[in-house]
């Protein structure tokens, strides 16, 4: 339904010149980036670096979903916001920062909670989904929605000095549920509000998510499909973990799935879909 961009104008040839000369990208790869749409869910510590590096690289359309407003306590890690924007919508702030860097990218902010009601319609409009969220319920929701819409899901997470990165539901690789069929007990889940996080750790993981998106958009091999990156910022170590293949008995991506439409994920996880409140089970 979108008209494909089939050539680069002179301004864009200049703008992207340093990546156009990479043989792995070239004009063909740049056009693929221009014709790719990416939905970033979460305009926080992971979403900020992801969004700005995708805008810089010339992804055609970037959607940004977040229900939240900017607070001072976000600014130690959410680097696209500014002091003067505190109280304003995060999604609009990220879109504005991306447009300031590259006005040829179409940036669409969605100031809304991603829910079982709107997720499929939103995700269906995009080619690649970035999980830059901050809570378990939304991660299951996003996983199931990405599987049902058949979109690759580039998943990042960070807490304290640690980060994790993988790509779900891509090229017949596993999904989040293949690895974790059951949600963790709510009392074992720590969020950034309670556990803390050093801002640059989601910065590194979010940047790596942008790289994965670019590789998927261009069709480069060696993505983090069926692989997990473990980053330990205190040790300065990166580990590459081989993961299981897609599980035939997976409830959502398996051969005979039981989940064919989105469910109630707060109920499923026993926890609210934000990183603020206490767990439902405790309330």
Partner 1 sequence: MLITLEFSGGAEMLFDNKKSHEVNLPDTEKWTIGSLLLWIRDNLLRDKPELFLQDDTIRPGILVLINDADWELYGQSEYVVEAKDKISFISTLHGG
Q: Contact at 8 Å (CB) between 61 and 73?
A: no
Q: Which is nearer to partner 1, 11 or 222 (CB)?
A: 222
Report the candidate in 53, 65, 60, 52 with the shortest Cα–Cα distance to residue 12.
60
Q: Is 250 in the site for Zn ion (CB under 5 A)?
A: yes
Among 4, 242, 255, 256, binds partner 1 (CB under 8 A): 242
Q: Is 178 in the site for a second copy (CB under 8 A)?
A: no
Among 105, 175, 192, 217, binds Zn ion (CB under 5 A): 175
Give which of a second copy, partner 1, Zn ion, none residue 198 binds (C-beta under 5 to 8 Å, depending on kind): a second copy
Q: Which is nearer to partner 1, 152 or 156 (CB)?
A: 156
Return the exposure string of 85-102: e unless at least 16 CB atoms fall within 10 Å of the residue's CB, then b. Answer: beeebbbbbbbbbbeeeb
Q: Which is nearer to partner 1, 72 or 241 (CB)?
A: 241
Among 51, 94, 96, 159, binds partner 1 (CB under 8 A): 159
Q: Which is nearer to partner 1, 53 or 60 (CB)?
A: 53
Q: Is 103 in the site for a second copy (CB under 8 A)?
A: yes
Q: Which of residues 49-78 bind a second copy (CB under 8 A)?
A: 49, 52-53, 56-58, 72-73, 75-77
DSSP bridge partners of 63: 39, 108
Using alpha carbons only, what angle is made at residue 49 by residues 162 and 271, rounded to the nearest 5 degrees?
55
Q: Which is nearer to partner 1, 103 or 190 (CB)?
A: 190
Q: Contact at 8 Å (CB) between 41 and 131?
A: yes
CA distances from 45 to 17, 67, 88, 244 (A): 29, 15, 16, 28
DSSP string, 189-246: ---HHHH-B-THHHHHHHHHHHHHHHHHHHT-S--SBTEEEEEETTTTEEEEEEPP--
Q: Is 38 in the site for a second copy (CB under 8 A)?
A: no
How far apart, in Å, do the first and last CA atoms of the chain sit? 46
Q: What residue ranges bind a second copy (CB under 8 A)?
A: 11, 14-22, 24-25, 49, 52-53, 56-58, 72-73, 75-77, 79, 81-84, 100-103, 160-161, 192-201, 203-204, 207-208, 210-212, 214, 220, 222-224, 227, 229, 233-238, 240
Interface residues toward Zn ion, by CB under 5 A: 175, 177-178, 250, 253
């Amino acid at each position: 339904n979108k008209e494909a961009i089939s050539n680069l104008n002179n301004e864009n040839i200049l703008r992207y010149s340093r990546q156009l000369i990479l043989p792995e990208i070239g004009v063909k790869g740049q056009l693929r980036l221009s014709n790719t749409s990416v939905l970033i869910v979460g305009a926080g510590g992971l979403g900020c670096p992801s969004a700005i590096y995708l805008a810089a690289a010339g992804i055609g359309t970037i959607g940004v979903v977040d229900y939240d407003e900017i607070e001072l306590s976000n600014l130690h890690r959410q680097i696209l916001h500014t002091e003067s924007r505190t109280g304003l919508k995060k999604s609009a702030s990220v879109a504005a920062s991306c447009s300031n860097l590259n006005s040829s990218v179409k940036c669409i902010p969605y100031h809304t909670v991603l829910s079982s009601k709107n997720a499929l319609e939103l995700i269906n409009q995009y080619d690649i989904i970035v999980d830059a969220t901050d809570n378990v319920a939304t991660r299951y929701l996003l996983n199931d929605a990405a599987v049902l819409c058949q979109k690759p899901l580039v998943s990042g997470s960070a807490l304290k000095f640690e980060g994790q990165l993988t790509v779900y539901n891509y090229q017949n690789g596993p999904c989040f549920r293949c690895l974790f069929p059951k949600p963790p007990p709510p009392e074992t889940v720590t969020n950034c509000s309670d556990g803390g996080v050093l801002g640059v750790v989601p910065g590194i993981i979010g940047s790596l998510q942008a790289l994965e998106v670019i590789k998927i958009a261009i069709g480069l091999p060696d993505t983090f499909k069926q692989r997990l990156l473990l980053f330990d910022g205190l040790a300065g170590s990166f580990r590459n973990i081989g993961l299981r293949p897609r599980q035939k008995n997976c409830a959502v991506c398996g051969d005979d799935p039981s989940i064919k439409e989105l469910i109630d994920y707060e109920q499923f996880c026993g926890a609210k879909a934000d990183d603020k409140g206490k767990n439902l089970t405790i309330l």
